[in-house]
Protein backbone atom coordinates (compact mmCIF):
# COMPACT_ATOMS: atom_id res chain seq x y z
CA UNK A 1 0.00 0.00 0.00
CA UNK A 2 2.89 2.39 0.62
CA UNK A 3 3.67 2.20 -3.07
CA UNK A 4 0.75 4.56 -3.77
CA UNK A 5 1.34 6.92 -0.87
CA UNK A 6 2.60 10.29 -2.11
CA UNK A 7 6.03 11.21 -0.76
CA UNK A 8 5.93 14.91 -1.59
CA UNK A 9 4.15 17.69 0.23
CA UNK A 10 1.03 19.26 -1.19
CA UNK A 11 1.54 22.67 -2.81
CA UNK A 12 0.28 25.82 -1.15
CA UNK A 13 -3.27 26.75 -2.16
CA UNK A 14 -3.59 29.48 -4.74
CA UNK A 15 -5.11 32.69 -3.44
CA UNK A 16 -6.58 35.16 -5.84
CA UNK A 17 -9.36 37.72 -6.04
CA UNK A 18 -11.92 35.35 -4.56
CA UNK A 19 -14.57 37.96 -3.71
CA UNK A 20 -14.39 39.46 -7.20
CA UNK A 21 -14.62 36.03 -8.81
CA UNK A 22 -17.68 34.99 -6.80
CA UNK A 23 -19.32 38.40 -7.36
CA UNK A 24 -18.73 38.14 -11.11
CA UNK A 25 -20.22 34.66 -11.24
CA UNK A 26 -23.24 35.77 -9.23
CA UNK A 27 -23.84 38.67 -11.60
CA UNK A 28 -23.64 36.29 -14.57
CA UNK A 29 -26.27 33.98 -13.01
CA UNK A 30 -28.65 36.89 -12.37
CA UNK A 31 -28.11 38.30 -15.88
CA UNK A 32 -28.90 34.87 -17.36
CA UNK A 33 -32.04 34.69 -15.23
CA UNK A 34 -33.19 38.14 -16.37
CA UNK A 35 -32.35 37.35 -20.02
CA UNK A 36 -34.49 34.19 -19.92
CA UNK A 37 -37.40 35.72 -18.02
CA UNK A 38 -39.14 37.14 -21.15
CA UNK A 39 -39.22 33.60 -22.59
CA UNK A 40 -40.98 32.09 -19.56
CA UNK A 41 -43.89 30.85 -21.68
CA UNK A 42 -41.64 29.13 -24.21
CA UNK A 43 -39.64 27.42 -21.48
CA UNK A 44 -42.86 26.31 -19.79
CA UNK A 45 -44.35 24.93 -23.02
CA UNK A 46 -41.22 22.95 -23.89
CA UNK A 47 -40.49 21.56 -20.43
CA UNK A 48 -37.35 23.65 -19.92
CA UNK A 49 -38.58 25.82 -17.08
CA UNK A 50 -35.83 24.42 -14.87
CA UNK A 51 -33.29 26.46 -16.88
CA UNK A 52 -34.85 29.64 -15.52
CA UNK A 53 -34.93 28.40 -11.92
CA UNK A 54 -31.38 27.07 -12.16
CA UNK A 55 -30.14 30.57 -12.99
CA UNK A 56 -32.10 32.04 -10.08
CA UNK A 57 -30.74 29.39 -7.72
CA UNK A 58 -27.21 30.08 -8.97
CA UNK A 59 -27.65 33.77 -8.25
CA UNK A 60 -29.06 33.07 -4.79
CA UNK A 61 -26.26 30.67 -3.91
CA UNK A 62 -23.82 33.23 -5.27
CA UNK A 63 -25.12 35.76 -2.73
CA UNK A 64 -24.43 33.23 0.02
CA UNK A 65 -20.99 32.68 -1.51
CA UNK A 66 -20.22 36.40 -1.51
CA UNK A 67 -21.15 36.61 2.18
CA UNK A 68 -18.99 33.56 2.95
CA UNK A 69 -15.84 34.65 1.11
CA UNK A 70 -16.02 38.17 2.55
CA UNK A 71 -16.15 36.69 6.06
CA UNK A 72 -13.30 34.32 5.15
CA UNK A 73 -11.10 37.13 3.83
CA UNK A 74 -11.76 39.18 6.95
CA UNK A 75 -10.80 36.22 9.14
CA UNK A 76 -7.60 35.65 7.15
CA UNK A 77 -6.67 39.34 7.52
CA UNK A 78 -7.40 39.25 11.28
CA UNK A 79 -5.27 36.13 11.67
CA UNK A 80 -2.38 37.67 9.71
CA UNK A 81 -2.56 40.85 11.81
CA UNK A 82 -2.57 38.81 15.03
CA UNK A 83 0.42 36.79 13.81
CA UNK A 84 2.31 39.99 12.92
CA UNK A 85 1.52 41.53 16.28
CA UNK A 86 2.63 38.38 18.07
CA UNK A 87 5.91 38.32 16.15
CA UNK A 88 6.60 41.98 16.87
CA UNK A 89 6.08 41.55 20.64
CA UNK A 90 8.07 38.32 20.92
CA UNK A 91 11.66 38.75 22.21
Write the pLDDT tens digit of every residue in 77-91: 999 999 998 888 866
- In a domain, residue 1? The reply is no
- In a domain, residue 77? The reply is yes
- What pLDDT does 14 receive? 81
Reported as half-sphere exposure (CB side, CA atoms, 13 A), residue 16 has a value of 4
Which range of residues forms the domain containing residue 51? 18-86
- What are the tens digits of pLDDT across the range 52-68? 999 999 999 999 999 99
- In a domain, residue 5? The reply is no
- In a domain, residue 13? The reply is no
- What pLDDT does 56 receive? 97
- What pLDDT does 2 receive? 61
- In a domain, residue 37? The reply is yes
| Mean pLDDT computed over every residue of the chain | 91
> Which residues lie closer than 8 Å to 51 by C-beta, 6 or more apart?
36, 43
The Cα 91–Cα 87 span in angstroms is 8
Average pLDDT of span 10-20:
86
Amino acid sequence: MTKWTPTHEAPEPLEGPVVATITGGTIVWFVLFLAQLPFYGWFSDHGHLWWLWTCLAGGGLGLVGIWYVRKRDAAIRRHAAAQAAQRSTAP
